[in-house]
Structure 1
Amino acid sequence: MESKRQQKFAGVIQKDLAEIFQREGSNLLPNIMVTITKVRVTSDLAIARIYLSFFNSSNNSLALNTIKAHAGEIRYKLGSRIKDQARIVPQLEFFVDDTSEYVERMDKIFDKISKEPRQPEQEE
């Protein structure tokens, strides 16, 4: 369970990273929109796990690896934004948020189930 402090700090990181990706994301990933879906921060605020969703991307793992390769640069830009709010700038760990893909897959399964003919209930 995250504390209020962790949640508040995660919100600050999410907001600032969203602005960084909005302004400079096209330099890293042209024609791909990056959305930060969730940020989780460890209890000591030293590590931030950032969950990303990519729109208009044919290869999410390649996009994620590109962002991971520029993690130091992104952390530096984040640090310049939050330097007055935090003692240390957390290490950034990036992950793909596949929640939307999971929801789509489940929807297809439920649609398939609902289209199958029902077996008549047998009375014993």
Structure 2
Amino acid sequence: MANYRRGRINEEVRREISEIIRNDLKDPRIGAMISVTKAEVTKDLKYAKVYVSIFGNGEDEEATFTALKNSAGFIRKELSNRMQLRYTPQIMLEKDESIEHGMHIDAILERIKGDKDV
């Protein structure tokens, strides 16, 4: 499979899963804001690693992530209804900590900048 095709499939899977979480998932445990940041589908289209970023406090974040992991089967079923692929990939959800990591680095840089001004 050409690399550009996999990139298009990754982006389409990311967009559809984001739409499913936002509009179709009715789990009351999901209260925080969720952003699907990246999706990586394997070459054989059997697995998809989906990175989600969850905004909220620690307890809500964990409860939301657990609820998302429990609803992976529903997400997969909805994805199969929306996309015409040879195989519907099995969804593996991962937390994306890149935004928090970036905010931490920004805070460190601001602190260093503040020390130089003194």
TM over 0.5: yes
Amino acid at match of 2:101: Y
Are the aligned partners of 1:28 and 1:67 in contact in 2 as well (CA < 8 Å)? no
Partner of 2:68: 67
Structure 1 consecutive aligned stretches of length 4 or more whose deviation exceeds 6 Å: none
* Cross-structure match for 2:27: 27
Q: CA deviation at 1:26?
A: 4.7
Aligned-partner residue type, residue 62 of structure 1: A
Following superposition, the deviation at residue 35 of structure 1 comes to 1.1
C-alpha separation between the residues in 2 aligned to 1:96 and 1:70? 15
1:2-81 superposed matches below 5 A: 3-59=3-59, 60-81=61-82
Q: TM-score, normalised by structure 1?
A: 0.81
Give the structure-2-normalised TM-score.
Answer: 0.85
Q: Aligned partners of 1:54 and 1:108: how far apart in 2?
A: 20
The aligned counterpart of 2:96 is 97
CA-based RMSD:
2.0
Higher helix share: 2
Query: Percent identity among equivalent residues?
Result: 26
Higher radius of gyration, 1 or 2: 1
| Mapped partners of 2:111, 2:40: distance in 1 | 35
Specify every segment of 5 or more residues in structure 2 that has no aligned partner in the other structure, as ranges: none
Question: How many pairs are equivalent?
Answer: 115
Q: CA deviation at 1:61?
A: 2.9
| Counterpart amino acid of residue 13 in structure 1 | V
Corresponding residue SS for 1:39? strand
Describe the shift of the 1:113–1:58 C-alpha distance in structure 2 as closer, same or farther (beyond 3 A): same
Structure 1 residues not aligned, in runs of 5+: 119-124
